[in-house]
Structure 1
Amino acid sequence: MSEKIFKDLSDFIGTHFIYTYDNGWEYEWYAKNDHTVDYRIHGGMVAGRWVTDQEANIVKLTEGVFKITWTEPTGTDVALDFMPNERKLHGVIFFPKWVHEHPEITVTYQNEHIDTMLDAREKYATYPKYIVPEFATITYIGEAGIDNADVINEAPYKGMTDSIRNGNFYDENYKHIRSNI
């Protein structure tokens, strides 16, 4: 795990994180560039979901503290406050009522099913929102670099995050080892 000290956005952009919320939900998240994030969800009500090229607002709040916000095609709003020097973050996920009642619809590679997400958003109730505010512990920090398509490049599977943390998923250039075979 990286021992880098985070100060500015230039330290944060291009970083790959794995974190576990206090409620037990495990997420993997990558600051792909200054306006785009990729992520995989390994635990919780939408475990198995993964997304690339999600437009996001990424800002530095103060030295070493970063806020990222976005709205998904599902209508889910997300706000994350990363404090990587303390290996902590706080996240708030605002799930529309339909996602809380039908999470299985979203458990897919979102990018290939945008129309399905938009249709469900119109078909099912949006309110009241199911709000999940949680602190999380960062269990992995990797320096993946900017716009690295190998970071989040396949669906999550059991044991994936352990493989990443153990150094068995990416090579020395942060390329997915399987893609080099």
Structure 2
Amino acid sequence: MAITPVTPIRRFDTLDDFLGTHFIYTYDNGWEYEWYAKNDHTVDYRIHGGMVAGRWVNDQEATIVRLASGVFKIAWTEPTGTDVALDFMPNEGRLHGVIFFPRWVHEHPEITVCHQNEHIGLMEESRARYATYPKLVVPEFATITYMGDAGVDNDDVICEAPYPGMTDDIRAGRYYDSDYRRIGH
């Protein structure tokens, strides 16, 4: 089944255009992710599909740069030892991501399915306890299915664990109010 990209919320050119944007995207392998460019050095995300579905993270330090007009690269290393590199092309409704999962995450993904911020010690302990190599490298294109202008440093964007149907609620306008705050909170 082909996934249709969402129409961009605005024309993206500069890094300022990109920062504060909230995305939902589905990789060609079917994994669904939600990701927020919180500011010029941190990202928040929730994972809704794939081997670590249910995982969510706030304030992940990242390198965020503009490669060309409307093309942005984000890269980080998680406490799990997982490395991530994303190339967003929001004007085209696409991105390319490469995730470098350590062997232990591939063999024990359930350990990482939590709010990482509350379990940093467990992530570091697991990284030291289990094998990290060979890494599982997952390079995939993805289709952006949602873009929202959440503003910079909005802690309401990724504020709770993912639940079944959450991304549908977000896309349908049932999750955030007009000020991009979680409805009911």
Q: Is TM-score (shorter-chain normalized) higher than 0.5?
A: yes
Q: What band does the TM-score fall into relative to the shorter chain?
A: over 0.9
Post-superposition CA distance 1:123-179 (Å, at most 9, x none): 000000000000000000000000000000000000000000001100000000021
1:3 to 2:15 alignment: no
TM-score (norm 1): 0.98
Query: 56, 68, 73: which one pairs with 1:50?
Result: 56
1:36 to 2:42 alignment: yes
Q: Structure 1: where are the runs of 5+ without partners?
A: none
Return the alpha-carbon distance in structure 1 between the equivalents of residues 114 and 9 of structure 2. Answer: 33
Q: Structure 2: where are the runs of 5+ without partners?
A: 1-6
TM-score (norm 2): 0.96
Aligned to 1:83: 89
Return the alpha-carbon distance in structure 2 between the equivalents of residues 92 and 2 of structure 1. Answer: 23
Q: How far off is 1:91 after superposition? A: 0.1
Aligned to 2:99: 93
Q: How many residues align?
A: 179
Post-superposition CA distance 1:86-118 (Å, at most 9, x none): 000000000000000000000000000000000
Aligned partner of residue 160 in structure 2, secondary structure = coil
Return the alpha-carbon distance in structure 2 between the equivalents of residues 48 and 2 of structure 1. Answer: 27
Query: 158, 172, 178: which one pairs with 2:178?
Result: 172
Aligned to 1:73: 79
Q: How far off is 1:2 after superposition? A: 4.9
The code of the aligned residue for 1:57 comes to T
Query: 30, 33, 37: which one pairs with 1:27?
Result: 33
Q: Considering only aligned residues, what root-mean-square deviation do their CA atoms show, in Å? A: 0.7
Query: 19, 22, 26: which one pairs with 1:16?
Result: 22
- Percentage identity across paired residues of the two chains: 75
Aligned partner of residue 91 in structure 1, secondary structure = strand
* Alpha-carbon contact 1:64-1:85 (below 8 Å) kept: yes
Aligned partner of residue 118 in structure 1, secondary structure = helix
Aligned partner of residue 70 in structure 1, secondary structure = strand
Return the alpha-carbon distance in structure 1 between the equivalents of residues 91 and 151 of structure 2. Answer: 18
The code of the aligned residue for 1:44 comes to G
* Alpha-carbon contact 2:9-2:148 (below 8 Å) kept: no
* Alpha-carbon contact 1:2-1:143 (below 8 Å) kept: no
1:135-174 equivalences in 2 (<5 Å): 135-174=141-180
Q: How far off is 1:3 after superposition? A: 2.5
* Alpha-carbon contact 2:8-2:91 (below 8 Å) kept: no
